[in-house]
Amino acid sequence: MSFTTKFVKIYKALLPSPFTIAIVLSFFAFVLALLFGSGVENEFKPYTILTYWENGMWTPNLLVFTVQMMLMLVLGHILAISAPINNFISSVTQHLNTSSKAAAWITFLTMLVAFFNWGLGLIFGAIMARKLAEVSLRNDWKLNYPLIAAGGYSGLMVWHGGFSGSSLAKVAESGHLASLLPNSNATFPDLITYGETVFSTMNITTSILLLVVAPLAMYWMGRKAKAQPIKLQTRFEIQNVELVEGAEKLDHANWFGIIIGSIILVFVGYKMFWQVGFTHYFTPNNINLLLLGMGFLFHQSFKNFQNALEDAISGASGILIQFPLYFGIMGILRDSELIAQFSNFVASSATPNSFTYFTFFSAGAVNILVPSGGGQWAIQGPLLVQTANEIGAPLAKNILAFAYGDQLTNMLQPFWALPLLGITGLKAKEILPYTLYLFVIGLIIFLSTLFLF
């Protein structure tokens, strides 16, 4: 039995669904607060802790965050299944007739797209892998389909360091850092711009290394991996909806979507490049406005857009129900003062340098249980901010360390691979040997840049 097969069996044996994990973690947080929370002084402690949980779940700014992240995924998905992107994918796949070329190019393009938007990258990679399989069957090419699909999942290893990274987008909003610890007397920066995170020298270096090394490594793997027979149960096609006689004209009018989308993009471009500034403009709301304008423009008619929305919306169901549960966990940990207690413990033994590695590895470990960058930031963000403040660790660098750890272990955690597996028709155990390979490459790159910078 191979190491990968053992890993898959252990994973299935130990970890239930992400939703069940969220419930289990909520109960675990409740027990921790009951036993060790110094902030729980009420005589009837269970009631007090449940109040903390309730308050955390329905925190207004965090519920706004939930909708922002859902829109980021849904609008990215809508873009990925538009005709222009579908045509681009079809044109590229015609030339990728070997496993090595196909694996390298799909890894490079998926990472590049995911750096812009994680939802777009997630579906783009899945569609490209599927299209490659269909083209190879028509032309009788011998390809390793699981390797190629793993390349289509590689975007989840770069997304959190990009424009749509949950923690990076939130800390770029005025007042977000202070809102994580409303009862703290410490002074936090009003915001941390993309210039300090996404466009920092460390993150640009890390991203370039990933975009160069990972595709080259997958090219090498493609030369070593054996071709496997490709079996597709159903044909996967993405097409624009044809005009329907007698339907409401505005719904099907291509010019209407193009005009509205163009107006939005001109408005966004003006604010981004002239009024506000490129690095200061990116917040979740502005990113989603940009995606909305592109969605209208690429789909042209609102009927096409609405049909794409129906396809995309189901992928956001996990965020809708799980994020409030994670916010409830945050409420328990924060208001019971467990965060402060753990922060003091870490601060007593950590240095600014060692805290960076603690943040990286702990984020990677927690992502196995909480496979959501946004939900994870809600839980770990307050601890990170408070501890970094206490020991004088650079906040922007440690937020990036958190992002790197979170995105790296997506190569071990198949939760976000579910859309890809559904589109490609593959199973998690088929792509896992190759995502483990990407995991090792990413680990070396992330640790190297965290050390050098």
| Of 431, 328, 316, 270, residue with least CA distance to 54 | 328
246-255: long-range contacts (C-beta < 8 A, 24 or more apart)? Answer: 247/303, 250/302, 251/301, 251/302, 251/303, 251/306, 252/301, 252/302, 252/303, 253/301, 253/302, 254/300, 254/301, 255/300
Does pLDDT of 416 surpass 50?
yes
Among 197, 198, 244, smallest CA distance to 396 is for: 197
Contacting residues for 287 by C-beta, under 8 A, at least 6 apart: 72, 117, 163, 164, 169
Which is more confident, 340 or 37?
37
Q: Check: CB of residue 150 under 8 Å from CB of residue 196.
A: no
236: in domain: no
pLDDT band at 164 (very low <50, low <70, confident <90, very high): confident
The position carrying tokens 């790296």 is 408
Q: Is residue 104 in a domain?
A: yes
What is the tens place of the pLDDT at every residue in 423-442? 788 887 888 889 999 999 99
Cα–Cα dist 158/373, whole Å? 12
DSSP string, 179-209: HHSTT--S---S---TTTTTTSHHHHHHHHH
Q: Which residue has the higher pLDDT, 254 or 292?
A: 292
Answer whether residue 381 shows pLDDT above 70.
yes
Each residue's pLDDT tens digit, 74-110: 888 888 888 898 888 888 888 888 999 999 999 999 9
Q: Which residue has the higher pLDDT, 343 or 217?
A: 217
Best mean pLDDT range from 232-241, 281-290, 292-301: 292-301
pLDDT digit string, tens, across residues 149-160: 999 999 999 999
Residue 201 pLDDT grade (very low, low, confident, very high; cuts 50, 70, 90)? very high
The H-assigned helical ranges of 409-427 are 418-424
Percentage of the residues of the chain whose pLDDT score is greater than 90? 37
Residue 20 lies in a domain: yes
17 or 111, higher pLDDT: 111
Say what percent of the chain tops pLDDT 70: 90
Least confident stretch, 119-128, 246-255, 267-276, 394-403: 246-255
Question: Of residues 276 and 31, which shows the higher confidence score?
Answer: 31
Instruction: Give the residue among 107, 182, 115 at the shortest CA–CA distance from 150.
Output: 107
Instruction: Confirm whether 155 is domain-assigned.
Output: yes
The parent domain of residue 201 ranges over 3-229+249-452
Lowest-confidence region among 162-176, 298-312, 359-373: 359-373
What does the pLDDT read at residue 344? 75
* Averaged pLDDT of the chain: 85
DSSP state for residue 246 in the 8-state scheme: T
Distance between CA 243 and CA 82 in Å, rounded?
16
Give the pLDDT confidence score for residue 49 in this predicted structure: 92
CA distance 305 to 345: 51
CB within 8 Å of 390: residues ≥ 6 apart: 186, 343, 344, 347
Q: How many residues does the chain have?
A: 453
Question: Per-residue pLDDT averaged across 67-79, rounded?
Answer: 85
Mean pLDDT, rounded, for 299-325? 85
Is 408:359 a contact under the CB 8 Å cutoff? no
| Model confidence at 11: pLDDT above 50 | yes
Residues 6 or more apart from 266 whose CB is under 8 A from it?
none
Residue 243 counted as domain residue: no
Please indicate, yes or no, if residue 234 is contained in any of the structural domains.
no
- 389-404: pLDDT as tens digits: 889 999 999 999 999 9
* SS3 label, residue 4: helix
How many domains are contained in the chain?
1
Q: What is the DSSP string of 206-225?
A: HHHHHHHHHHHHHHHHHHHS
Phi-psi bin for 443: left (phi > 0), alpha (psi -120 to 50), beta?
Answer: alpha
Residue 237 inside a domain? The answer is no
Q: Is the pLDDT of residue 167 over 70?
A: yes
pLDDT-based confidence at 13, cuts 50/70/90?
low
Do 339 and 383 contact (CB within 8 A), yes or no?
yes
CB atoms within 10 A of CB 209: 17
In this model, does residue 7 exceed pLDDT 80? Answer: no
pLDDT reported for residue 259: 92
Q: What are the residues whose beta carbons fall under 8 Å from the beta carbon of 330, sequence distance 6 or more?
A: 56, 62, 378, 379, 382
Band (130; pLDDT cuts 50, 70, 90): confident
- 244 within a domain of the structure (yes/no): no
What per-residue confidence (pLDDT) applies to 408?
95
Can you give the pLDDT at residue 207? Answer: 96
Least confident of 76-80, 277-281, 415-419, 440-444: 277-281
Q: Is residue 241 over pLDDT 50? A: no
Predicted local confidence at residue 276, as pLDDT:
74
Q: Which amino acid is it at 231?
A: K
191 or 17, higher pLDDT: 191
Contact 435, 153 (CB under 8 A): yes
Mean of pLDDT values over 235-263 = 68
Which pLDDT value is given to residue 263?
A: 94
Are 47 and 262 spatial neighbours (Cβ–Cβ below 8 Å)?
no
